[in-house]
Amino acid sequence: MSKYQTVQITCPECETVFDVKKWDSVNVQINPEEKERMLSGDFFNHQCPECATISCILFTCLYHDMSSQLMVYLIPLEPGKDPSEALGMIENVSQLLDDPSADLLFFKDGYKHRVVFHREDLMEKIKINDEGLDDRVIEVLKLIMLHQLGEDVAPAKIEYFLFDTITGKREFTIFLDSGDIGQVDFPQDAYDKIETSFAQAIEAGTPKGFQFVDRKWAFEEVFQKVDSAD
C-alpha cells in the first residue's frame, strides 16, 4: 500500500500556512501518477495557494515498485551528517507499507533494497531500474568513466554524474561546478563487460537489506576487494 499524512507547511514568501501530502511510502502500482511526479521532479514541490511560490521540501519516503521488485528509501541527509548514521533512521518496513507481511520482502530472492540521500539519486535509481539495468554495475562504470573524464573537464569539477534517459536514449548527464551541463553516451559494451567480469564481487558486496550503492560503494566493495584478491 501507499501511505501518506497531511501536514502543514509555511510559505517562505508570504508566510501562508497550507496543507500538503507527506508521503511515507509510495507503491507505484497503486499510485503510478506519483512515480511520474518523482521523475519530473515535482514530487517534493509544493505551491502556495496564495502567492504561487513553489517550495521544495524533501522528506523521508520509501519508493516501492512491486512489479520489478525494487525499494528505494530516500533519507534526506543533513549537512555534515555521516551517511552511515542514516541506516539507523530506517523505519520498520511493515509500518511504512502498512502491511504486516512486508518484512518478508527482505528475504524474497531478486528484491533490491537501496538507500539514497538526494532527490536526483532517487530519480536515477528509478530510471536505471526502468531500463532493466543493474545500478551496481552502473556505479562501477561511473568510477571508470570519471577517471577517464577527469582531465577532459579540468579545471572544472564534476558535481553530479547521473544516468539519464531524458533525450530518449541511454546516457550520462554531467553537472559541473562551473554551471555547465553535458551528456556522455552510454557505453553498452563496457557495461556488459563489467557485469560479467565483476559479477562475483558485486554480489558479495550487496547482502540482503537496504544498501548504499554509490561510487564509494563501488570502490570499497568491488575495486578494493578485487585488487586484494589478486
- 70 vs 97: which has the higher pLDDT: 70
Please give the Cα distance from 158 to 177 (Å, whole number).
6
Please give the Cα distance from 136 to 142 (Å, whole number).
10
List, in order, residues 6 or more apart from 141 with CB less than 8 Å away.
187, 190, 191, 194
Query: With bands split at pLDDT 50, 70 and 90, how would you rate the model's confidence at 36?
Result: very high
Does residue 88 surpass a pLDDT of 70? Answer: no
Does residue 114 surpass a pLDDT of 90? Answer: yes
What integer pLDDT is reported at residue 99 of this predicted model? 56
- 86 vs 214: which has the higher pLDDT: 214
Q: Give the residue carrying C-alpha cell 519516503.
A: 61
What is the tens place of the pLDDT at every residue in 115-154? Answer: 999 999 999 999 999 999 999 999 999 999 988 887 566 5
Dihedral sign, Cα of residue 196, residue 201, residue 206, residue 211: negative
| Rg of the chain over all Cα atoms, to the nearest angstrom | 19
Helices (H), strands (E): how many in the chain?
Answer: 8, 10
Q: Tell me, what amino acid is at 141?
A: L
Half-sphere exposure of 204 (CA within 13 A, CB side): 12
Kindly report the pTM of this predicted structure.
0.88
Cis peptide before 155 (omega within 30 of 0): yes
